[in-house]
Structure 1
Amino acid sequence: MSFGEIFLNEFLGTGMLLLLGCGVVATAILDRSKGLGGGWLLINFGWGLGVFAGVYVAFESGAHINPAVTFGLAANGTTDWSDVPAYILGQMAGAIVGAVLCWLAFKEHFDIEEDPSKKLAVFSTGPQIRTYSWNLVTEIIATFVLVFVVLSFGNSPVDIGPLAVALLVVGIGASLGGPTGYAINPARDLGPRIAHAFLPIRGKGSSDWGYSWVPVAGPLIGGVLGGLLARAVY
């Protein structure tokens, strides 16, 4: 595929992922939402279904919709390193736009929500216990699972396509998401965090840039490790 084709597919797929993913968090935590109090499993399933939709939208480009997956597949030899910039740029642009669309959909709820930490939580992840080194380990492990298992799907006699990836994301969130909110995707965290910084959100508070490197570095390391191990095993 050309640079432009990869960019467009990843832009659309990642945009859909972030619109639905940020949207389920907004549904579950923002004041006067009909889904207020929906809980962690609602958020897990919402993100999983966001992945399901995003993978279908970006299917022609391989549906990475995640820089960690792109780096993992490049390390694995499945994706050419020369194509990586097109993937990353499309993913980042899509993530920002998806987050902006979520804000537009929930504009009035953002306006009446008084807690700035909840507004930020719609856009980006944050640890329950802030210890950067251990937060980084959590993100590395969770993203390693994502990329290694996705690459393992190619060796399975049963092919359920995007549904398998969606269920995997739900499982990672349920099992490993508690410490950090499981970014497992640098674009998923950094793109919306940038949107949070520039959007005119009433009473939004800090964008927590001090933590922002963890959900970027951790998933990239975990993705590469998953890709390398899959290459060695398979």
Structure 2
Amino acid sequence: MSSTKGGLEVVFHEDLIRSGYQTLKINSHKGAVLISKDPFYNRHVPMRFVCGKAPHLSILSIVNGNRPASDTSEHHIPQITESSEQYNWHVVEVAVETTDPYMQGCGVTYASDELFKPETPQLYDGDGQPQFGCKIDLQAAKEAAFYCPAPYVLDPPKCFRQVSVDGITKKITAVSKSLVTSESNHFAILRFERWRVGSGETLRHTPPLQCRCVTTKGIVLSTIQIENYYAK
């Protein structure tokens, strides 16, 4: 499971009232992005914790076997045994709800966040220099996500319902019938559905469909480009 920095915390605290006890707290912060990388648990991720009382040495039995206590000719490790009947052990399961899907994509994130699939292709400029962003082959990935957290803004404002094509903002429905848009809690999402390909639409490698995440002053922080899509 991955999250934005500090998004999910598991913390142990010593109980100040009951000596020897600990309190387990799981904190999910408002606005955090929570991603499951497990395909079987993509909406809720089970987390299991074993709770019980740790034994003290004073109540353990130390067994030396048949070796006399005075025999020190070689190092001997005593066996320490205990009776499990003295303790109550409990397994606590917590289902952590995810906020967004795990797919290829990019956006404004910390390098350690790992919110998107690692096979997401890097974006490069015309000189072959890496840029902040990604370039998604929609035929290979089938879907893509873009993350632009506040206070930054999307350009076009309704990415992916609107995309920039050669510098011109167009509605995605005017580009292709096979491109379906949606939003999760934090991501703008674009999916390709082959059965929706319209009459006269052909596979296009260029121009890329583009969205950007920019500051209020227009500074570009991240860019996503979509290639290999169907259009007239």
Could you tell me the TM-score, scaled by structure 1's length?
0.24
Rg bigger for which structure? 2
Structure with the higher helix share, 1 or 2:
1
Higher relative contact order (CA closer than 8 Å, sequence separation 6+): 1
Structure with the higher strand share, 1 or 2:
2
